[in-house]
């Protein structure tokens, strides 16, 4: 898979989650019909589950090519990202089925992990001029998902 195409997967699934929610299509694990913050959260967590599972595979099985596509050298960091991604992915699927407390519990590490990863990608862009597709396009995911989760959880839990 080319770097440019693979760099579109994460932002694409993030946007797809919002589009399906705004269209009012029922997400896995939701009983609501039409648009709702709960339905949107379910779509985002559902797709996040797949994204994190995909990330786990890419950072472990394809670690060298994944590092290259980000503009980095392979050094073992991928296996740590693979492990946390696997846990986050499984946690997302669990949360979709288990309700509000599970949504909050999985969202906290996702928000933290992605925001800090996004800051790191920005540092790579500005300090090291790293414009690799998987270092730049991922910013929509890195900041869009945490901001969306914060907004939706606030709306649902207030």
Torsion sign, CA atoms 126, 132, 115, 77: negative
Of residues 110 and 54, more confidently modeled = 110
pLDDT, one tens digit per residue, over 7-51 is 788 899 999 999 999 999 999 888 777 899 999 999 999 999 999
Q: What is the pLDDT of residues 50-90, one digit of tens each?
A: 999 998 988 888 878 877 777 778 777 788 889 999 999 99
pTM of the model: 0.90
Number of domains composing the chain: 1
Query: Domain of 129?
Result: 3-157
């Amino acid at each position: 898979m080319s770097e440019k195409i693979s760099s579109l997967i994460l932002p694409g699934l993030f946007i797809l989650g919002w589009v399906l929610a705004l269209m009012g299509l029922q997400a896995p694990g939701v009983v609501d019909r039409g648009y709702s913050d709960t339905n949107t959260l379910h779509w985002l967590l559902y797709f996040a589950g797949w994204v994190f599972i995909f990330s786990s595979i890419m950072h472990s099985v394809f670690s060298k090519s994944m590092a290259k596509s980000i503009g980095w050298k392979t050094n073992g960091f991928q296996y740590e990202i693979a492990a946390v991604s696997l846990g986050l992915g499984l946690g997302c699927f669990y949360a979709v089925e288990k309700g509000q407390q599970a949504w909050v519990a999985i969202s906290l590490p996702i928000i933290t992990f992605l925001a800090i990863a996004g800051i790191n990608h920005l540092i790579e862009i500005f300090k090291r001029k790293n414009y690799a597709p998987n270092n730049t396009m991922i910013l929509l995911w890195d900041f869009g998902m945490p901001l969306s989760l914060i907004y939706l959880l606030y709306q649902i839990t207030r």
